[in-house]
């Protein structure tokens, strides 16, 4: 008589282990590629840790945080991240278009204008940031003007109420370790 082998205990153990592993942290990011600001979905390399009755992700070394209040229906136009920073939207709405549309860069030089509409320009993507989930309310802005030399991003705050942000710069403008999952915002 042959012994009966079953994989049921191993399968159950694998399923239980997989069920206990928190998901990776995916965050929409503004980055720079070939001189253009672009929207990307980043998966941070942070290993989740379970403590304080929560799953916690270390996102990097940060400096002094800033609380910002933007008036309703504010149109900033073309912009760049002042620092590589984590931004959380606590109230209101942010609409980000990257790279900035060519028509919204009136002060660009003739050479830069030709680059804005020319070959090699990344496809324009739009992201909305608002309170809610991690994917909808947190983003990393890493498109510094020194890297996005052809075009930055276009920012609008179209809400009927003030938009409240908490902006937390990363030390030495170092973005957290990550991989790029795809172009465009995380869904």
Higher-confidence residue: 40 or 9? 40
pLDDT recorded at residue 83: 96
Q: For 9-18, 54-63, 167-176, which range has the lowest pLDDT when averaged over its residues? A: 9-18
Task: Sort 121 into a burial class: Cβ within 10 Å, 0-12 / 13-18 / 19+.
Answer: middle
* Domain positions in the chain: 24-183
- Average pLDDT of the chain is 85
Q: Looking at the domain that runs over 24-183, which CATH code has it been given?
A: 2.60.120
pLDDT recorded at residue 33: 95
Q: For 3-17, 28-42, 59-73, which range has the lowest pLDDT when averaged over its residues? A: 3-17
pLDDT, mean of residues 88-104:
90
**Is residue 30 within 8 Å of 178, Cβ to Cβ?**
no
pTM of the model: 0.80
Q: Is the pLDDT of residue 130 over 90?
A: yes
**Is residue 72 within 8 Å of 162, Cβ to Cβ?**
yes
Is 14 in a helix, a strand, or coil?
A: helix
pLDDT, mean of residues 20-27:
87
Rounded to whole angstroms, the Cα distance separating 35 from 115 reads 10
Residue the block writes with tokens 């908490």: 166
Which has the closest alpha carbon to 177: 62, 45, 84, 86?
45
């Amino acid at each position: 008589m042959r012994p009966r082998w079953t994989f049921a205990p191993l399968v159950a153990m694998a399923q239980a282990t997989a069920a206990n592993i928190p998901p990776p942290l995916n965050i929409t990011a503004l980055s720079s590629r070939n001189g253009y600001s672009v929207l990307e979905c980043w998966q941070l390399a942070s290993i989740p840790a379970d403590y304080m009755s929560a799953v916690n992700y270390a996102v990097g070394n940060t400096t002094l945080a800033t609380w910002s209040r933007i008036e309703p229906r504010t149109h900033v136009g073309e912009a760049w991240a002042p620092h590589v920073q984590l931004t959380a939207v606590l109230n209101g709405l942010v609409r980000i278009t990257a790279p900035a549309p060519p028509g919204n860069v009136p002060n660009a030089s003739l050479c830069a204008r030709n680059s804005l509409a020319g070959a090699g320009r990344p496809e324009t993507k739009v992201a909305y940031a608002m309170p809610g989930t991690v994917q909808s309310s947190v983003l990393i802005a890493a498109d510094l003007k020194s890297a996005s030399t052809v075009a930055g991003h276009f920012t609008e705050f179209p809400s009927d109420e003030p938009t409240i942000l908490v902006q937390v710069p990363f030390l030495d403008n170092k973005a957290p370790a990550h991989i790029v999952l795809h172009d465009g915002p995380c869904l």
